[in-house]
Amino acid sequence: MACLAHASIEQISITVDSVIVGIALIAAGFLFAFFGHKFFKITLFLAGFFTFSILVWLALAHLEPNKGYGSNAGWIYLGAGAAGGLIGGCLFLCFWRLGFAAIGGVAGFAFAMFILSWASSGVISHGTGRIIFIVVFVLVGILLTFFVERHIVILGTALVGAGAFFVGLDFFLHTGYKETFRAFLSGNHSALFGGYQVTGKVYGMLAGNLAMTVLGAAFQYWKHRDSFVPKSHRPQANRPYQEV
């Protein structure tokens, strides 16, 4: 995600940094969508990685000068995003309650972005309105984590994983789907990065995203229908998990 600000919509060449980001997102997205419960510690790490890499991307995007970061912009976003993501992942592994809440927050963020992506320039076209919309979904996702953990983890990992998978896929297909991050989150730099236009190909990516979310959630519910987080994954083994 941290490399999203490197290429413009019109650019169709595949660079080394975009290949790295694309493959990483595809692999992590598939793992998240179908095995978020099974590999729960990895899920916590990825939740921290996604959270901090997005924050780093936002900071770099809003601080980027008018002339950009130069020819090494892609590597700057990739390196800074990876470093921030590693810090976030390790932090959430150490403080698992924080990581648990982050799963809900990232899920809320992904859901908000998914909804906004169904219209050119966003379902909500006003920049401030979009930010408020996204923040509300993030806060609701965090709040729900404390009441319906089972469903938030399964549905959240399926949603986030599917989103990451198709964003990564777009680094190779170039449908314009990944431009949602620049268009909706880059603030005053939107004109520099280019707009977001919904085409038939983008609708196809959105449909695929939705289908993968449903399949991932259904698989996880079926695979783990009699259990939730294994005791080995929870630091407080004496606290039974509350089934919903």
The 10s digit of each residue's pLDDT in 196-236 is 788 899 999 999 999 999 999 999 998 876 655 444 445 45
Give 46-79 pLDDT, tens digit per residue: 888 888 888 887 788 777 777 777 777 778 888 8
pLDDT band per the 50, 70, 90 thresholds, residue 14 = low
The structure's pTM equals 0.76
Distance (Å, whole) CA 44 – CA 81: 17
Q: pLDDT at residue 9 above 90?
A: no
Structural domain boundaries in the chain: 16-226
Phi, psi values for residue 221, rounded to 5°:
-65, -40
Give the Cα separation of 105 and 88 in Å (integer). Answer: 14
Higher pLDDT, 196 or 88: 88
Give the pLDDT band (50/70/90) at residue 241: very low
The answer to whether the beta carbons of residues 231 and 218 sit under 8 Å apart is no
- DSSP output for 95-110: SHHHHHHHHHHHHHHH
